[in-house]
């Protein structure tokens, strides 16, 4: 962090049903701490809603983050993760190396310089009176792919491409990606990384297709090829059309965790408790969550950390689970594996179906219901694997490397 880092940013929000934003409040940096104050003009609106009431209730005065956090999680959810931070840092510091430290820039710098078309229903501006969206792009997908590879390789980008690539920096995750608009659809385009030693894009495409076929609520995806390279197109579920934006929060925020302790203390069981208390259709939602845990285990996705789960924040202040996203088989050198979040109340996170069965009551399921979910998913994966692999453009070698290794790994079936 430097003395030139901004100390204040204004949050703008899209109210339910609105196509244009209004200023909602101010973030102030106080050392490592970031406080939030609702604008009086926002509080006096008849349709004003809190950004996320457990953290930022709609009250006058300065609100400090609770629970040891340095910023309210619902605000941090809108900021870039490692990929976006590296793109922005490269604009400040020039070509990056593996030793480049994204902490050189402050949170407010990242919020104010990342693209305005960010996840959810917030954006951040230097002004409380004028909204100016950032980083619209006329670059082609091929140009953006080449620019992403240049960033990874530590090469300098021409200014127009650097600005174009910034549009996708507000989307979370560690892998290179950009934002696209196709007719009336808003899309995320995920690229292969220059460091990939396996077909990550195609593997994720196959897993997402299998999840859809297994009956999970997932974001629509499609694998295409551009300039001979794989691209996974993911349809955004936070853009209902007409310029509207849907507010959402990550499970990290729902659980009240920060980025550094999230992986250690993240727990599906605790998330299930929140679902019972504050989600719409809690019983159906718990069944969906249990089904997602089972599916992650069956396809070898151990990257199911709290940032890879989210919920819509509704106008009536309840939460609704978003479609699933970022379901990608993870490489493993040994059969044994653990999920990123604990499945049961005893902290068990072993990537085994027996772990799910032992914890089924947490999700308001009996053993017979849990077994039915497991058996159905296994059947779908076994019978529809080849069709899903075809849809994801997996080669025969890709299939041999994935099936019965990450996907339907024998460790998942051990008791």
Cβ-contact 356, 290 below 8 angstroms:
yes
Q: Could you tell me the pLDDT band of residue 239, with boundaries at 50, 70 and 90?
A: very high
Residue 294 sits in a domain whose CATH number is: 1.10.1070
The reply to whether 42 falls in a domain is: yes
Q: What is the CATH number of the domain that holds 153?
A: 3.30.200.120
Q: Are 225 and 264 part of one and the same domain?
A: no
First vs last Cα of the chain: how many Å apart? 50
Range of the domain at 201: 141-235
Q: Which one is predicted more confidently, 407 or 226?
A: 407
Helix (H, G, I), strand (E, B) or coil at 190: strand
Distance CA 280, CA 260 (A): 29
Residues 83 and 157 in one domain: no
**The pLDDT of residue 342 is above 90:** yes
| Residue 2 belongs to some domain of the structure | no
In a domain, 135, yes or no: no
pLDDT at 165: 62
Examine residue 3 and state whether it is found in any structural domain, yes or no: no
Which of 114 and 165 is assigned the larger pLDDT? 114
Identify the band that residue 181 occupies on the pLDDT scale cut at 50, 70 and 90.
confident
Given pLDDT bands bounded at 50, 70 and 90, which one contains residue 3?
A: very low
- Choice between 146 and 336, residue whose per-residue pLDDT is larger: 336
Domain identity same for 215 and 280: no
114 with 148, same domain: the answer is no
Residues 211, 181 share a domain: yes
Give the DSSP letter of residue 37. E
Give residue 345's pLDDT. 95
pTM: 0.92
Output 144 or 133, whichever has higher pLDDT: 133
Using the 3D structure, point to which of 74, 96, 124 is the last residue of a domain. Answer: 124
pLDDT in tens, 93-117: 777 677 777 788 999 999 999 889 8
Sign of CA dihedral 389, 392, 393, 395: negative
What are the distances in angstroms from CA 208 to CA 100, 133, 212, 291, 388? 33, 32, 6, 14, 9
- State the total domains in the chain: 3
Residue at 221 is within a domain: yes
Q: Does one domain contain both 252 and 390?
A: yes
Give the residue, 146 or 2, on which the prediction is more confident.
146
With both helix axes pointing from N to C terminus, report the angle between 82-93 and 159-166 in degrees, rounded to the nearest 10: 150
Q: What is the mean pLDDT of residues 265-275?
A: 95
DSSP H helices in 220-313:
251-254, 262-265, 268-278, 282-299
pLDDT value for 138 = 59
Last residue of a domain, one of 66, 99, 124: 124
pLDDT category of residue 292 using cuts at 50, 70 and 90: very high
Q: Please say if the pLDDT value at position 188 is more than 60.
A: yes
User: Looking at the structure, do residues 396 and 256 belong to the same domain, yes or no?
Assistant: yes
Query: What's the whole-number mean pLDDT along residues 22-33?
Result: 96
Task: List the one residue out of 296, 303, 299, 271 whose CA is nearest residue 285.
Answer: 271
- 328 with 179, same domain: the answer is no
What are the CB-based long-range contacts (under 8 Å, 24+) for 194-201? 194/149, 194/152, 194/153, 195/152, 198/331, 198/401, 199/230, 199/394, 199/395, 199/398, 200/175, 200/328, 201/230, 201/231, 201/232
Q: Are residues 265 and 397 in the same domain?
A: yes
Q: Do residues 103 and 226 both lie within one domain?
A: no
Neighbours of 401 (CB within 10 A): 18
Same domain for 201 and 228?
yes
Considering the domain architecture, whether residues 38 and 150 belong to the same structural domain is answered as no
């Amino acid at each position: 962090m430097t003395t030139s880092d901004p100390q204040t940013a204004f949050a703008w929000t899209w109210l339910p049903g609105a196509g244009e934003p209004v200023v909602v409040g101010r973030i102030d940096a106080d050392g490592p701490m970031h406080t939030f104050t609702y604008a009086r003009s926002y509080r006096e609106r008849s349709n004003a809603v809190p950004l996320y009431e457990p953290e930022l209730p709609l009250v006058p005065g300065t609100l400090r983050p609770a629970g040891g956090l340095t910023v309210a999680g619902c605000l941090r959810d809108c900021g870039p993760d490692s990929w976006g931070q590296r793109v922005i840092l490269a604009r400040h510091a020039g070509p990056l190396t593996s030793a480049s430290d994204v902490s050189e820039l402050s949170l407010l710098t990242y919020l104010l310089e990342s693209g305005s078309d960010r996840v959810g229903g917030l954006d951040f501006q230097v002004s409380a009176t004028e909204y100016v969206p950032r980083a619209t792009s006329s670059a082609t997908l091929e140009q953006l792919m080449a620019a992403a590879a240049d960033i990874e390789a530590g090469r300098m980008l021409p200014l127009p491409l650097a600005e174009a690539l910034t549009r996708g920096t507000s989307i979370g995750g560690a892998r290179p990606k950009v934002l696209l608009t196709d007719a009336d659809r808003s899309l995320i385009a995920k690229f292969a990384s220059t460091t990939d030693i396996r077909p990550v894009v195609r593997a994720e495409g196959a897993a997402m297709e299998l999840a859809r076929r297994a009956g999970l609520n997932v974001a629509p995806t499609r694998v295409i090829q551009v300039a001979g390279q794989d691209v996974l197109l993911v349809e955004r579920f936070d853009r209902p059309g007409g310029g509207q934006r849907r507010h959402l929060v990550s499970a990290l925020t729902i659980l009240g965790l920060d980025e550094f302790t999230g992986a250690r203390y993240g727990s599906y069981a605790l998330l299930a408790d929140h679902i019972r208390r504050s989600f719409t259709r809690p019983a159906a939602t718990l069944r969906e969550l249990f089904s997602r845990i089972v599916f992650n285990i069956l396809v070898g996705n151990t990257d199911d950390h709290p940032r890879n789960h989210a919920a819509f924040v509704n106008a009536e202040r309840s939460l609704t689970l978003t479609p699933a996203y970022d379901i990608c088989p993870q490489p493993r050198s040994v059969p044994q594996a653990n999920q990123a979040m604990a499945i049961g109340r005893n902290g068990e996170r072993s990537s085994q179906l027996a772990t799910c069965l032992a914890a089924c009551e947490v999700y308001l399921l009996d053993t017979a219901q849990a077994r039915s979910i497991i058996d159905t998913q296994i059947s779908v994966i076994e019978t529809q694997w080849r069709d899903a692999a075809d849809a994801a453009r997996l080669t025969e070698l890709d299939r041999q490397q994935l099936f019965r290794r990450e996907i339907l790994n024998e460790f998942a079936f051990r008791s």
